Amino acid sequence: MPSGYLGRVVNALAKPIDGRGEISASDSRLIESPAPGIISRRSMYEPLQTGLIDIDSMIPIGRGQRKLIIGDRQVKHQ
């Protein structure tokens, strides 16, 4: 994060909305970048506990791992 963004309020496109003028930055970065190939990724050793016993026992998730979990819309969240 360039230091010009520290303490500023920006929208989803990183445009300033705090009325303090434009933000000067010397470099730019992509917000979304392609995921690395499966071979070059490091192994997951640290589990991510969701706090939901059913999910944690049936679908172990590693911290940093991408996982799609879908369910019925009528299921109540705790």
pLDDT at residue 77, rounded to an integer: 60
Nearest to 61 by CA among 74, 46, 72: 46
User: How confident is the model over 12-61, as pLDDT tens digits?
Assistant: 888 999 999 998 877 777 778 887 887 887 777 788 888 888 888 888 78
Q: Is the pLDDT of residue 78 over 60?
A: no
Reported pTM: 0.37
CA distances, 33 to each of 8, 29, 50 (Å): 24, 9, 26
Nearest to 2 by CA among 13, 14, 18, 19: 14
Least confident of 1-5, 62-66, 73-77: 73-77
pLDDT at residue 76, rounded to an integer: 66
What is the C-alpha end-to-end distance of the chain, expressed in Å? 35
* C-alpha dihedral sign at 55, 60, 64, 70: negative
